[in-house]
Amino acid sequence: AALSLAAITAASTLVTGTASAADDPIVIKFSHVVAENTPKGLMAQKFQELVAERMGDRVIVEVYPNSQLFGDDKVLEAMQLGDVQLAAPALSKFGRYTKKLALFDLPFLFEDLDAVDRFQQSEAGQGLMSSMEKKGLIGLGYLHSGLKQFSSNEPLRVPEDAAGLKFRIMSSEVLEAQFEALDATPLKKPFSEVFTLLQTKAIDGQESPWSNTYTKKFYEVQPYITESNHGLLDYLVVTSSYFWNGLPDDLRAELKAALDEAVAYGNQVAREKELEDRQKIVESGRTEIITLSPEERAQWVQAMKPVWKQFEDEIGAELIDAAYASNR
Ligand code: LMR
């Protein structure tokens, strides 16, 4: 039988020595996969600064961007083992721990980030953050990246244009179903490999918010971007319950306050980047941005909406209704 999680974490603590002498500062490793100049990258830096300012003698935050330390396929296990203390993987990447967060991947669920905010701040949205506590993971806050766009080697105007093409997806069953609904082929691949897969034409396309498409230069190797806003890329800032609950109460409260401030800042950045990074891509002249007419958009909705029914039992119809109602 498997060792209990507590035993594993306790053992790894002994080995890595994170349970250090009382006067050594606590080290928080924050691992993420995106560039520094993104909502998540800048949120992590802000958290690092706030902690240094306010409790620098007691806590040191080390930020590891660009998949330097862990990719998202490994980071949650590493967290359970005590090798990393903070991460903010996409909500799409928690499928092994909870089915509920798949809600956020449903295509065309949220019209804009205001609707996302309303739902995330609601009781139902806040409740989801604690859906993995039994697995040793605690959600500390939601962070936006933004609404996703399709990019491709082919112009995508109507759903039929995607048929037969290969798209990189995050490891999410909903995203898999979404591309299958288009008769396209979804391939689960780490974020760190997307640029090369596109550049070598091993895949035809991908879906990302403007900030990732810009900072990882996907637009330089993709002749078309369809401004589809068809789905959401958002994050859950997450820590291990073993680490978090083991902190002194006063320090935990101070860290949470600093994190809340950093997340609010990151969410502001996300809104700015949606416009700024889109504009930089336009100005680069490297790719054609396709905007959809209302009729074309309706066809995408019609093609992808059946995915909701497919996952209704796992996610819960009430939860889906509550999220959809946040569009007002
Ligand atoms: C992706 O894999 O596309 C995203 O989760 C990357 C990120 O963290 O924004």
d(C-alpha 105, C-alpha 192), whole Å: 20
d(CA 76, CA 185): 27
- Buried/exposed 25-47: b ≥16 CB within 10 Å, e otherwise: ebebbbbbbbbeebbbbbbbbbb
Rounded to the nearest angstrom, the distance between the alpha carbon of 307 and the centre of ligand 1 is 21
Residue 152 in tokens: 């491709």
Cβ of 224 closer than 6 Å to ligand 1, yes or no, is no
The residue whose CA has the least distance to atom 5 of ligand 1 is: 90
With the most atoms of ligand 1 within 8 angstroms of its CB, the residue from 208, 210, 214 to mutate is: 208
Ligand 1 near 145 CB (within 6 A):
yes
- Please name every residue paired with 62 in a beta bridge, in sequence order, or none if there are none: 29
Stated pTM of the model = 0.92
Kind of pairing between the strands at 166-169 and 185-188: parallel
Tens of pLDDT, residue by residue, the chain (328 residues):
344 555 555 554 444 444 555 679 999 999 999 999 999 999 999 999 999 999 999 999 999 999 999 999 999 999 999 999 999 999 999 999 999 999 999 999 999 999 999 999 999 999 999 999 999 999 999 999 999 999 999 999 999 999 999 999 999 999 999 999 999 999 999 999 999 999 999 999 999 999 999 999 999 999 999 999 999 999 999 999 999 999 999 999 999 999 999 999 999 999 999 999 999 999 999 999 999 999 999 999 999 999 999 999 999 999 999 999 999 8
Report long-range pairs for 163-166 (Cβ below 8 Å, ≥24 apart): 165/204, 165/205, 166/202, 166/203, 166/204, 166/205
Which residue's CA is the nearest one to ligand 1's atom 1?
Answer: 191
pLDDT of residue 139: 97
**Ligand 1 atom at shortest distance from the alpha carbon of 32:** 8
Q: Tell me the CA–centroid distance for residue 55 and ligand 1, in Å.
A: 30
Residue 287: name the closest of 146, 152, 145 by CA: 152
244 lines ligand 1 (CB under 6 A): no
List of long-range contacts for 295-299, beta carbons under 8 Å, 24+ apart: 296/157, 296/158, 297/228, 299/158, 299/159
Ligand 1 atom with the smallest distance to the CA of 38 is 9
Closest CA to 151 of 118, 198, 84: 198
Instruction: Tell me the pairing of strands 232-240 and 205-208.
Output: unpaired
Measured at the CA of 122, the angle between CA 120 and CA 126, to 5 degrees, comes to 60
Instruction: Report how far residue 204's alpha carbon sits from residue 209's, in angstroms, rounded to the nearest whole number.
Output: 17
Q: Which residues contact 74 (CB under 8 A, 6 or more apart)?
A: none
Atom 3 of ligand 1, residue of closest alpha carbon: 191
For ligand 1, is residue 212 a contact (CB within 6 Å)? yes
Picking from 149, 96, 107, the residue whose alpha carbon sits closest to that of residue 288 is 149
**143 pocket-lining for ligand 1 (C-beta < 6 Å):** no
Q: What is the value of ipTM here, to two decimals?
A: 0.99
**Ligand 1 within 6 A of CB of 287:** no
Q: Which of 30, 33, 94, 151 to mutate to test the pocket of ligand 1 (most atoms within 8 A of CB)?
A: 33
Specify the residue for token string 């359970």.
80
The pLDDT assigned to 22 comes to 64
Predicted confidence at residue 326, as pLDDT, reads 98
